[in-house]
Chain A
């Protein structure tokens, strides 16, 4: 075992010492020193298990995964937060899934629509109210292409039958009414919500869309939620390659696009964690192959473009090379401009979905060093994809707590941290440059050739803003 690994393991043990015995034993399984070769048996983390009560997990819930991530961005369906008022309020337009349309008329993405459960709904059940709510929505929003019912905790606990209501109303309205059983207490994190949402896409809308013609170049862009316009930047590249993106899931997605993805020749998946389920299903049921790719930073982008093109004929392969040729000078110029200011800076990441591994290459393109990375709600397959891209001895964290993040920061002294809003301001107080890597800190896009310059600019302003130097620390 190398010194780098041993040193990190020692540091992890020290950090764990503060926990009570049971929690310590459990948390120890979720923190590891990285071994990119995969030979070290103690260098793997356990994942996708319950968070310990009281430790201050950063995780969210199944509702957050189903409503906030997968279904919420579908623009022309109404997403009802079914239950008390809070969940829909706190997740209201927080993920910046950009879309085109007239909100409240033919699209509904930035609206907070809820059945606002009261005590009587808990006592007598909410089904009757739900039925009436759906009718009221249909009256007010005649152009809605579907209605999703996203269950909050009480719905499952009181035993409502939202499936029966949906079925009845769907017959009447003749648009998909999708009951999503994503009560927040289900599962251990957002992750189960993604899975449940995938299953409901499969059961209620998949294969039901209209597409007049197909071509050999039809692809679906899956697991891109168009945060700050990410999917649009990715789509632009795919189209420049000569591919025809028939469906975009689920950033700026229409219900129809959820329906027609089954006609694609290849499913391209960016966020593996949240949408691998439906890709596997389409592979099994429709024989559609799927390919993971990474559109963060030029190195990974070039490799991904070539990998995607390899599924198609020479025309596409040539286009791919031309595309790289066209953008390489721009990417080189971006690197030339920012690398001198960022070279050697140490980065700690703690995010979700695809980012803990997918953004590593983009940081490395700028000469930055990833010293720790972790997932809020990753599974083993995420970590297996992560170990090889991380350096030896880097910290791998699963479901990290506020305490652990703070301790690792104190000991490892990163020059910059990329995590979420709950972490952001404690890092500001510590005087550690910080970037929100869920919402791109209200910037973006970060995907593709149009996104990388923005990414580089943002990392530079984060690390090198002069205001950090004004913080007067106690001696």
Chain B
């Protein structure tokens, strides 16, 4: 039997019947004349438009930023048997779950207390009490980690008192850990939500656990959505012989093997280890901006050495291992040294396609600092650096990094700006390559600048998050994705010319 050729939206709507339909539909749309649309489209690419665009202060257009509780539930889901529990309106949790599902292509359970109008008037105590009881009875968590949506924050719910009441009423066991964090969506972003939840969990479950030093190193990844990074850090520390506790191991839940069984709690940082983290020799965070309060807390309350070291790029990774070696007294093994050699070898081999290329970047603060450092190591020229959740400190840190290399002299840092600002910049001062998340594809479309997808969220390409971007292996992955994007673009542009080379 002859198989029927099936056309889905990708082909179907290119057919003449549909193109005619679209044209005819204009009769009812009261559209602007096509010349007018063209004129305005061209105008949006001008310096004049850019000036207006940068003058806006009250509206964000395509920001690369999302709200605190997303980071909080990402953080808590990395602990063993932990159910993220969100006090507030229920739509938020539906959104957080969907957002993380779409990036990781993995399930995520999280609870909402489904607050509605009556809670707005009377407060969310009843929702919290019933929510804790139902969640505990139905889903048997070992820990319920509570955070909030903006609704609970605006009406001022007292989480501490509510949780205490639930225990007093025996709705949940008295010894069930129920840490909490206030995570208002109108303050900061998910990196702060991660930070607040981490601090909330650690301060709660380590209370009264100060004892003998365990000689371990605590590792906090920060809001790192590369599951490959979690596997990579474990591999590297094991290679080095460092005894460590990974605080919030998101790879357990966001990279679990398919066994034909859905496990609500597929692993994560053992609670016992997390409780003992107070007795570690030191804590190392792999991101700075998403761990500020936590690290401050660890320094002050645990009197522990706490370092933020982000191993993205060669120099950063070198520094990471040097510091780690100092902290632990363990030498850097030859195997890691060999990995460094391979990564550098790859950079040397690929440099002709990256040297002198101009880059625009949009993303999270720590990743941007790492990526810019790496690009400059390869002779790339960062030009536009946009960080929607960036602050003054980020601007200074980035400026300092840029001044450290001659390749940094063209760059400008845009804290608190968004991808619509970046669109203007990319028209008035075009670049060769754009680095950003999946939503940056609209900039690729509008400006024709090839996009390397690095960051969060990555919705439209599969499995990128499974490949580490940290360590020397991460360097190799970054080189590979960037250089091959350059080469793909080169092929596309030279397709019917003599420059269509087969060896590059």
Residues on A lying within 8 angstroms of B by beta carbon are 18-20, 22-23, 50-64, 76, 80, 83-87, 89-94, 98, 100, 102-106, 110-119, 121-122, 129-130, 132-133, 136-137, 139-140, 142-143, 145, 152-154, 156-158, 184-188, 190, 209-211, 228-229, 232-233, 235-236, 239, 245-248, 252, 254-257, 260, 330, 333-334, 336-337, 401-403, 406, 420-422, 424-431, 443-445, 450, 453-454, 456-457, 471-474
Contacts and interface: CB of A to CB of B under 8 A. Distances in A.
B319 interface: no
Interface in B162-185: 184-185
Contacts of A130: 58
Contact of B58 (A19, A103, A115): A115
A89 B66 contact: yes
B28 A246 contact: yes
B137 A184 contact: no
Band of interface residues on B: 35 or more
B60 A403 contact: no
Given A56-B111, A60-B90, A132-B57, A117 B95 contact: no
Contact of A421 (B101, B186, B262): B101
A251 to B, nearest CB: 11
Nearest to B17: A236
A113 to B, nearest CB: 5
A157 B116 contact: no
A158 B186 CA distance: 13
In order of increasing CB-CB distance, the 3 nearest A-B pairs are A61-B91, A86-B67, A54-B131
A229 to B, nearest CB: 5
B154 A57 contact: no
9 contacts: A50-B116, A86-B69, A86-B95, A104-B420, A130-B58, A153-B149, A260-B28, A428-B107, A457-B8
A450 B4 CA distance: 13
Contacts, number: 345
Contacts of A54: 85, 111-113, 130-136, 138
B67 A89 contact: yes
Interface stretch (B32-40, B334-342, B374-382): B32-40
B29 A76 contact: yes
B3 A337 contact: yes
B189 A236 contact: no
B379 to A, nearest CB: 33
Contacts of B57: 132, 136
Contacts of A90: 66, 70, 95-96, 98-99
Contacts of A401: 138
A229 B44 contact: no
B88 to A, nearest CB: 8
Contact of A55 (B8, B12, B138): B138
B130 A53 contact: yes
Given A422-B101, A429-B261, A474-B261, A453 B6 contact: yes
Interface in B105-158: 105-117, 119-120, 126-128, 130-139, 149-151, 154-155
Contacts of A93: 439
B89 interface: yes
Nearest to B439: A92
B358 interface: no
Interface stretch (B18-26, B194-202, B224-232, B476-484): B18-26
A443 B13 CA distance: 13
A112 B63 contact: yes
Nearest to A209: B30
B40 A119 contact: no
Contacts of B348: none
Given A86-B66, A143-B37, A252-B25, 15 more contacts: A22-B130, A53-B126, A54-B132, A84-B185, A86-B185, A87-B91, A94-B102, A106-B31, A106-B37, A112-B61, A122-B186, A254-B29, A401-B138, A444-B8, A453-B6
Given A52-B134, A56-B139, A102 B91 contact: no
